[in-house]
């Protein structure tokens, strides 16, 4: 499998999980959280799925296509290890959905971020909320859901607050 | 259609065309040319399809994953408008396949590059060679081939020297 194969597989898994989430959070009020703006593609997909929701995006810097950058109110710039724990007042209400695709090329950093997210994210989330992530998160009081058709177990992770 | 949908569609079209090219150039000797290393995904796919071919890669700079960077002999750094016209001696023989996915965010620059490639690339290519591109190229003596199943006309371009 080439890296081209791999990225196609990863992006399709990501899209399938986001699309599945659209229905699953329909009855859950609250904004959405996107951790990592990157080039803005996933943010663009989220806003197409959830045109009536506020979406708050966290990233170290803004490097996305200008069409895919949230306004200043919804773009929270900085290291998520600092911005996320303090975010509840900024986002205004517990979130219905968080999506975290922030893997770096460094496995040690990825593992550290996963530990951080497992601790910091739940405090921002509403009852019944979903967390989607490109890696496994250790959280109590959350159930790992089955993945959409065509997405192999372990390729993406969908958690629901029980 | 979101930008996430759009990139998945583009990468799948690219992969389908590259995979089709594998069979079509089986009988054509010569190295391969990859215009634009980017993050190295397409280069990685090309070398998986063509493990016995030399692949020369052209880009302004090297910004790929370290695993996806060709050796110094095969990495030609610089503006292709300067490096490409002089490349025949460097690549050693006319190429069997060239792949050009070098679109920028600027339509005027893209149009200019397409004109340049249509003029400069054919001089580097073997009889029967293929050129794959993410945009239309104006070349005489080349036939536009049908696209693989699932790839809509106009999404990618495959040309064969007649």
Q: Closest partner residue to B40 among A3, A18, A42, by Cβ?
A: A3
Per-residue pLDDT of A47-73, as tens digits, reads: 999 999 999 999 999 999 889 999 999
Residue B84's pLDDT is 96
3 state DSSP class of A59: strand
CB contact under 8 A, B41 and A2: yes
Among B53, B97, B104, B96, residue whose Cα is nearest residue B79: B104
Q: What is the mean pLDDT of residues B128-157?
A: 94
Name A52's Cβ contacts closer than 8 Å, sequence gap at least 6. none
Write out pLDDT tens, residues B81-92: 999 999 999 999
Under the banding of pLDDT at 50, 70 and 90, the label for residue A32 is very high
Interface of A with B (CB under 8 A): 1-8, 11-12, 14-15, 18, 39-42, 44-45, 47-48, 65, 68, 105
Instruction: Scan for tokens 């009020």, then name that residue.
Output: A29
- CB contact set of B17 (below 8 Å; sequence gap of 6+): B132, B147, B148, B151, B156, B158
Q: What is the pLDDT of residue A44?
A: 97
Find, among B18, B14, B12, B67, the residue nearest to B39 by Cα.
B67
pLDDT score of B4 more than 80:
yes
Does ipTM surpass 0.95 in this model? no
CA dist., res. A96 & res. A49, Å (int): 14
Are A35 and A117 a contacting pair, CB within 8 Å? Answer: yes
pLDDT value at residue A114? 93
Chain B residues near any Cβ of chain A (below 8 Å): 1-8, 11-12, 14-15, 18, 39-42, 44-45, 47-48, 65, 68, 105
Q: How far is A113 from chain B (nearest CA, A)?
A: 21
- Of the pLDDT bands very low, low, confident and very high (cuts 50, 70, 90), residue B161 is very high
Quote the pLDDT of residue A15.
97
Please return the burial class of A25, using the count of CB atoms within 10 Å of its CB with bins 0-12, 13-18 and 19+. Answer: buried
Is residue B126 within 8 A of residue B28, CB to CB? The reply is yes
Mean pLDDT of B40-66: 95
At B151 the pLDDT is 94
Question: What is the average pLDDT across A10-32?
Answer: 96
Q: What is the pLDDT of residues A130-152, one digit of tens each?
A: 999 999 999 999 999 999 999 99
Taking CB atoms and an 8 Å limit, are A15 and B4 in contact across chains?
Answer: yes
Interhelix angle B3-24/A41-49, rounded to 10 degrees, is 120
Percent of chain B with pLDDT over 70: 100
Report the pLDDT value the prediction gives residue B95, as an integer from 0 to 100: 98
Distance from CA of B50 to the nearest CA of A (A): 12
Q: Are A159 and A142 in contact (CB under 8 A)?
A: yes
Q: Give the C-alpha separation, A42 to A21, whole Å.
A: 13
Q: Are B145 and B160 in contact (CB under 8 A)?
A: yes
* Contact between A41 and B3 using a beta-carbon 8 Å cutoff: yes
Are A101 and A36 contacting, i.e. CB atoms less than 8 angstroms apart? Answer: yes
- Over chain B, what is the mean pLDDT? 94
Percent of chain B at pLDDT above 90? 90
Distance (Å) from the alpha carbon of A10 to chain B's nearest alpha carbon: 10
Residue A117, both tokens: 């997210």
- With beta carbons less than 8 A apart as the criterion, state whether A98 and A132 touch: yes
The Cα–Cα gap between B138 and B88 comes to 21
Give the pLDDT confidence score for residue A133 in this predicted structure: 96
Spell out which residues of chain A touch residue B5, defining contact as CB-CB under 8 Å.
15, 45
A–B interface: beta-carbon pairs under 8 A: 62
Neighbouring CB atoms inside 10 A of A153's CB total 9
Average pLDDT value for residue range B73-86: 95
Phi, psi torsion values for B11, nearest 5 degrees: -70, -35
**Contact check, Cβ <8 Å, B48/A15:** no
Q: If we measure between CA atoms, which residue out of B129, B65, B70 comes closest to residue B98?
A: B129
Q: Do A7 and B4 touch (CB under 8 A)?
A: no
What confidence tens digit (pLDDT) does each residue in A92-136 have?
999 999 999 877 778 898 899 999 999 999 999 999 999 999 999
Task: Give CA B12 to chain center in angstroms.
Answer: 15
Is residue A46 within 8 A of residue A34, CB to CB? The reply is yes
Burial class (CB in 10 A: 0-12, 13-18, 19+), A73: exposed
């Amino acid at each position: 499998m080439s890296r081209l194969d791999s990225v196609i597989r990863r992006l399709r898994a990501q899209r399938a999980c986001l699309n599945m989430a659209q229905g699953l959070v329909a009855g859950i009020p609250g904004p959405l959280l996107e951790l990592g703006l990157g080039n803005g593609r996933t943010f663009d997909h989220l806003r197409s799925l959830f045109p009536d929701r506020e979406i708050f995006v966290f990233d170290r810097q803004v490097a996305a296509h200008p069409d895919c950058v949230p306004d200043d109110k919804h773009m929270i710039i900085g290291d998520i290890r600092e911005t996320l724990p303090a975010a509840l007042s900024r986002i205004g209400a517990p979130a219905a959905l968080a999506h975290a695709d922030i893997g770096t090329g460094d496995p040690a950093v990825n593992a550290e971020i996963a530990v951080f997210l497992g601790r910091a994210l739940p405090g921002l989330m509403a009852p019944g909320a979903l967390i989607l992530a490109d890696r496994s998160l250790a959280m109590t009081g959350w159930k790992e859901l089955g993945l959409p058709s065509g997405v192999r177990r372990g390729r993406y992770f969908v958690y629901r607050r029980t």
